[in-house]
Amino acid sequence: MRKKLIKLIAMCKTPQGFFVWVTLLFGGIFILAIPPLQTPDEAAHFLRAYQISNFEFIPSQKDGITGSDIPVSFQKVQEAIEGGGAIQTRPTLKYKLGNTKAALVYVPLDETRKVFMDTSVTASYSPVGYVPQALAVGLGRVLNAPPIIMIYLAKLLMLITWTGLVFVSIKLFPFKKWAVVGIALLPMFLSQSVSLGVDVIAIGSGILFTSTVLACLYRKTAMTRKELLLLIGAGVAMVLSKQVMVFLLGLILALPGASLSKSSKKSWLLKIGLILIPVASFGIWSLFLPDISSNITQLTNGQNTFEQIKYIFQNPWMFIMTFFNTFFFTPGDGISQSLMGNFGWLDTPLSALFINAGYASLFVYWFINYEGKNNTRTVSKVNKAVFAGIAVLYFIGVCAALYILFSPVAFPIIIGIQGRYLFPCLFLLLPVFFTNIFTTKEKYFVRFTKIMSITLLAASVITIVFRYYITVY
């Protein structure tokens, strides 16, 4: 027993071991500290998880509304948690722990009483992004557990899934594993890993996909069948979870032909196949999707897709200025801040000091190398260009989509962007900036990563606790 414990503690010395320890520790605290259903659209994702657990992958429509018959107790648990007044986006209001207790004691699962609920917000998401949540809800249903237990169980399974996906990614990542750990332990990543949305599967499989491609690139030997299956699986999972992840499939182009097949023709066919399988799987899924276009038109931002596209083409300079305003000027500061840490319903930001420290650490993870000189030569300039190009395309894709779909016509900033949408870019840029321009000793890098990760996560926990539980006198 003692030996096992020592072995477990010794795991901290490896990057993946440290990641697992810290993620489980702080992730557990996040689960307990962030009140249930307090992240954007979490309640809607919970309902979708119920649908999936019921094998109802495609929501039905009633009177033009997309939704499903869902137990009334799911609605009641939400009411019990709110306790008569929603606290979201109102930081002066605190969460009462009694609400959780009330949800636990007074809202049992009652699947005999169901009501048709609108689930159009999450209707377009495929079941793939909800596997852990649906498993948790399914398990809860088997055990006849109250819905509040299902929520916490789902969060726990999300955390375990995230930890597993990133653990494998770190193991596969061919260089600067500690940098991957540092990025994966940024507070917002961990916060997302305990939220009921599709980000865990989408981003987790995206990181796994990137790591697998890099592992094959780095080794330059033939790809194993296991790696091929991993690429297909991760590719399908990420694209089905979030369509915008389709850009990452372009990384396949960086794979050397020899790693796939000796024949150049065959290797190209395989590459096309690796790209097409996830795309086709999404195509098939979208054939079954209900018409949810009304969702977007219901929004009252004053947006007009056609006019916005026309505006972009007619005023490309102004669109560039919109980018500038959004990312390099004061009004868009909230977006970059939310990449580092803005919890709950984006109403619990980390203070400026820690946000700045987070970005400084990101610079260190990206640019500072602690490995020998030989390593950097294995990522060729062409491959770096591919990774950079994909990151830029992904970034522009996210921005353009949100500008076209959610921002008012000719608006000076892009509305709707949240920092977390840009998570995949952080990993994509790791090989791009992997050079010997800035080097340090491994011990300094490891020490920095450990201290910075724990400091930022501890600051996040304090911020969350003060936001939800400690009253301003």
Partner 1 sequence: MRMKDIFKKISVFRIASMIKTGKLETLFLIIFLVFGIITVFLIPPGWNTDEPDHTYRIYQLSKGNLFSEPVLSPAGNKAYGGEVASGLVNLYKDAGVRDAGASAADKTKKANGLYDAHPNILKYKDDGSKTSINFSGAALYSPVTYALYIPIFKVGTMLHSPFLVILIIARLVGLLAVGLAFFLAIRHIKAGKWIIFVIGLLPVTVIQAASVGADGPLLGVAVLFLMYITNIVYSSKQPTTRNYVILAFLGMLLTFVKLAYAPLTLLILVIPFIKKTPISKRVVITALAATLIAIIPNLIWTTMVSYVDTNSNLQSNFPMQKSFILHEPILYIKTLYYTFFTNEQAPLDALFGNAVWNSVPLPAFFSYLAMTAVVLSVGVKNSREDVMRSMKSRGPIIWKLALLVASSITILIISTALYIYSSTLYQSSIIGLQARYFIPLLPVILLACVGNYFKNQKNVKIIIVCLSVIILLGATFALYHRLYQTLPILLR
Interacting residues toward partner 1 by CB under 8 A: 318, 321-322, 324-325, 327-333, 336-337, 349, 351-357, 359-361, 363-364, 368, 412-413, 436-441, 444, 459, 462-463, 466, 470, 472-473
Which residue lies nearer to partner 1 by CB, 106 or 363? 363
What is the smallest separation between the CB atom of 328 and partner 1, expressed in angstroms?
5
What is the smallest separation between the CB atom of 379 and partner 1, expressed in angstroms?
19
Which residue lies nearer to partner 1 by CB, 210 or 342? 342
What is the smallest separation between the CB atom of 312 and partner 1, expressed in angstroms?
13
CA distance 313 to 310: 5
**What tokens appear for 271 in the block?**
């590459």
Which residue lies nearer to partner 1 by CB, 277 or 458? 458
Q: At CB < 8 A and 24+ separation, what contacts does 405-411 make?
A: 405/296, 405/303, 405/305, 406/299, 406/301, 406/303, 407/301, 407/303, 407/308, 408/301, 408/302, 408/303, 409/302, 409/303, 409/304, 409/307, 409/308, 409/311, 410/308, 410/311, 410/315, 410/318, 411/322
Phi then psi for residue 57, to 5 deg, are: -70, -35
Which residue lies nearer to partner 1 by CB, 1 or 353? 353
What is the smallest separation between the CB atom of 85 and partner 1, expressed in angstroms?
21
Q: What is the DSSP letter of 12?
A: G
What is the smallest separation between the CB atom of 458 and partner 1, expressed in angstroms?
11
Which residue lies nearer to partner 1 by CB, 154 or 399? 399
Strands 65-71, 114-118: pairing kind: antiparallel
Which residue lies nearer to partner 1 by CB, 198 or 340? 340
Query: DSSP 3-state assignment of 342?
Result: strand
Which residue lies nearer to partner 1 by CB, 21 or 323? 323
- The amino acid present at 140, given as its one-letter code, is G
Residues 427, 207: contact at Cβ < 8 Å? yes
- The amino acid present at 124, given as its one-letter code, is S
What is the smallest separation between the CB atom of 44 and partner 1, expressed in angstroms?
28
What is the smallest separation between the CB atom of 304 and partner 1, expressed in angstroms?
18
- CA–chain centroid gap for 37, Å, is 17
Residues 453, 341: contact at Cβ < 8 Å? no
